[in-house]
Structure 1
Amino acid sequence: MKKLIIALGGNALIQKGQKGTAEEQFSNIRKPVAQMAELSKDYHLVITHGNGPQSGNLLLQQEACDEVPKMPLSVIGAQTQGQIGYMIERTLDEELMRLSMADEKLFLTILTYTRVKEDDPAFQNPTKPVGPAYPDPKPGFVKTAKGWRRVVPSPKPYKIYQYREIKRLMQDNFIIIACGGGGIPVFKKNMKLKGVEAVIDKDLATAKLGEQIHADIMMIATDEEKVALNFGKPNESRLDELTIADAKKYLEEGQFPAGSMGPKIQACINFIEAGGEQAIITSVDNITEALAGTAGTHFHL
């Protein structure tokens, strides 16, 4: 069986216009998880996910309450890994029972750390908005469509610390949920791990984990069914496939903005160049079809 790693975008849990209640999130996650339960018949499966809306809500709760100590981003990242891992696990359990596979497939959420480098240039240029938005300017904040928000660095992921445990569990037929929110950013100092006030792109972290576990296929499941050139313009064109050379060229030309499709394209480039067999970008509704080759944008050398 081939190794398949799937990154779920934020819309897999909270869609535009929703408040993000537990009921909404469980309802939204059902369709992609049902597809992945089916795919686990034929693939060793790792699931990764974003955590932007969930961590934003926790940060907002912190800002609204002074009765308890405020937690750093590293701890909030760990909290969301547990929260979203539980939602995926519970839904996966139900879908495996529906398929009469509950006794065949085991699953586990892995609390995941991601190594970053202290000298990463991102620490000199924070760009990632986090937490609540305010109507008035504040030091260290930037103007966004929602208002003024705090920005933190988004350094590159260099290593997923738990990759060996994940590889071993996959050999024992576990479905693994890992790298939530890109992993908890840490670096080592004086033989100790230190959490960092940063946010790691979950697609880049997924590509790094895929490289470390020698995954055959990486899929990024997002809002769009295919990658588009000239997105939102009259001459928009959807792509069935992209060579790595063309992907790099379009990335340099600015076709894929850093705040949306850019990191996804870069993650596919990284994965293929590291030895991955296939990388795919598609929507959360078309996971099965994309693997069958009838949906999504497929990347190759």
Structure 2
Amino acid sequence: MRMVVALGGNALLHRGEPMTVANQQANIRLAVQGIATLAQTHELIITHGNGPQVGLLALQAETYKAVQPYPLDVLNAETEGMIGYLIEQALRNQLPDRQIVTLLTQVEVDGNDPAFAHPTKPIGSIYTQSEAEQLAAERGWAIAADGAGYRRVVPSPEPRRIIELGAIQLLVQAGVLVICVGGGGIPVVITATGGIRGIEAVIDKDLAAALLATSLKVGALLLLTDVDAVYTNWGTPAAQPLRHVSPEQLRRYSFAPGSMAPKVEAVCRFVEQTGGIAGVGRLQDAAAILAGQAGTLVQSLHRSSG
């Protein structure tokens, strides 16, 4: 089966973990073990998150005052290359006979998307409330609660079109394992003259993964993160995992914005638009999620009953 596998940024760099290259390399080595197993019997296209990493680059840029900080589209390109390189190298060590390539990918958004007026996408480190409020005052950030802490939030417009889709299709057809649309892709808009221009935003990587999977007409979409399943009543004593569920059933529940909500929306869109299957769960459970033995497996009512 051909499938898109999306690796969450917080799964590659665990919450509260120092953002060192060594930590990311260690986490990615563990992540690709499961991916390499899947690649033995399935055709994979890999994408990934970059929230912690793009936030780190933004913080590092703030310390050098000789030039203006780089915009988020450029930072996204940097992290797409960096994380793609780490994943590609780890995969090559697991799959020495496979052709693997990382492709910097631009994704078109609408410059008038309402998201630009309402930042929601968390990036960077987790702070205490007082730390976050101080940084927001100093740097003009928007901040929001994230678990027990607070993070910077930035605009997250809807992904509309993958600019390099044709190149991705050619590589996949040639048998290449492609790592692409990292961090949701590099956000760009189309100008009045038909050109392409980067824009200050971070595209949600789950929605971009759904767009990638739908555009490529794959059979499955796996969203692999640091949470073992989609839960109802998350964070309360009544929390319950959803194991086998349809998009119709998922849409009856509410989920945390900027966290599980985009994942739920992504898998619902993919299943509704393609009739394929989608899964959400932990990196180490990838094969079990696909088999319906772990995580949350999402498929249409018709398919699940048939």
TM-score normalised to the size of structure 2? 0.89
SS of aligned partner of 2:252: helix
Residues matched between the structures, number: 290
Distance 2:288 2:84 in 1: 25
Deviation at 1:144, TM superposition (A): 3.7
Look up the match of 1:180: 182
5 Å-filtered alignment, 1:202-241, equals: 202-241=205-244
The whole-number CA distance in structure 1 between the counterparts of 2:76 and 2:150 is: 22
Name the residue aligned to 1:89. 88
Quote how far apart the aligned CAs of 1:84 are: 0.2
Q: 1:148 to 1:299 in 2, by over 3 A?
A: closer
In the alignment, the residues of structure 2 paired with residue 145 and residue 203 of structure 1 have an alpha-carbon distance, to the nearest angstrom, of: 20
Shift, 1:136, TM fit: 5.5
Aligned match of 2:61: 62
List aligned pairs for 1:53-202, cutoff 5 A. 53-96=52-95, 102-103=96-97, 105-130=98-123, 133=132, 135=134, 137-138=136-137, 140-145=140-145, 151-189=153-191, 190-202=193-205
Answer whether contact 1:186 1:194 (CA < 8 A) is retained.
yes
Work out whether residues 188 and 196 of structure 2, in 8 Å CA contact, stay in contact via their aligned partners in 1: yes
SS at match of 2:33: helix
Secondary structure of 1:118's aligned partner: coil
Work out the CA distance in 2 between the residues paired with 1:131 and 1:298. 29
Give the fraction of aligned pairs with identical amino acids, expressed as a percent. Answer: 41
Alpha carbons of 1:157 and 1:83: their partners in 2 closer, same or farther (altered >3 Å)? same
Give me the whole-angstrom Cα distance separating, in 1, the residues matched to 2:36 and 2:276. 22
Shift of 1:28: 0.5
After TM superposition, give the deviation of residue 127 of structure 1 in Å: 2.6
The equivalent residue for 2:129 is: none
- Rounded to whole Å, the distance in 1 between the matches of 2:10 and 2:142 is 24
Cα distance, 1:179–1:92 mapped onto 2, change above 3 Å: same
Question: 1:147-191, CA deviations, whole angstroms, 9 ceiling, x for partnerless residues?
Answer: 886543211011111111111111111111011110011111012
Q: Residue 157 of structure 1 contacts residue 208 of structure 1 at CA under 8 Å; is this kept in 2? A: yes
Q: Distance in 2 between matches of 1:27 and 1:194?
A: 35
Letter in 1 for 2:189: F
Distance in 2 of aligned mates of 1:212 and 1:128 = 24
Is the 1:11–1:223 Cα contact (8 Å) retained in structure 2?
A: yes
Between stretches 18-27 and 129-138, larger displacement belongs to: 129-138
Match of 1:120, as an amino acid? Answer: D
Could you say what the CA RMSD is over the residues aligned between the two structures, in angstroms? Answer: 1.9
Q: 1:244 aligns with which of 233, 243, 247?
A: 247
Matching residue of 1:49: 48
* Paired amino acid for 1:177: I
Q: What one-letter code is carried by the residue in structure 2 that aligns with 1:284?
A: L
Q: Counterpart amino acid of 1:175?
A: L
Gaps of 5+ in 1: 97-101
Comparing 130-139 with 191-200, which one deviates more in the overlay? 130-139
- 1:9 alignment counterpart: 8
For 1:89 and 1:112, locate their aligned partners in 2 and report how far apart those are by CA, in whole Å. Answer: 15
Map Cα deviations across residues 98-141 of structure 1 (whole Å, 9 max, x no partner).
Answer: xxxx23x1110010111111221212222334457462652743
Shift in Å at residue 293 of structure 1? 2.1
CA distance in 1 between counterparts of 2:115 and 2:15 reads 29
Is 2:120–2:258's contact at 8 Å kept on the other side of the alignment?
no
Identify if the C-alpha distance between structure 1 residues 61 and 137 changes in structure 2 by more than 3 Å, giving closer, same or farther. closer
Aligned AA for 2:178? I
Q: Within 2, Cα distance between the matches of 1:155 and 1:114?
A: 11
Give the residue type in structure 1 aligned to 2:25.
Answer: F
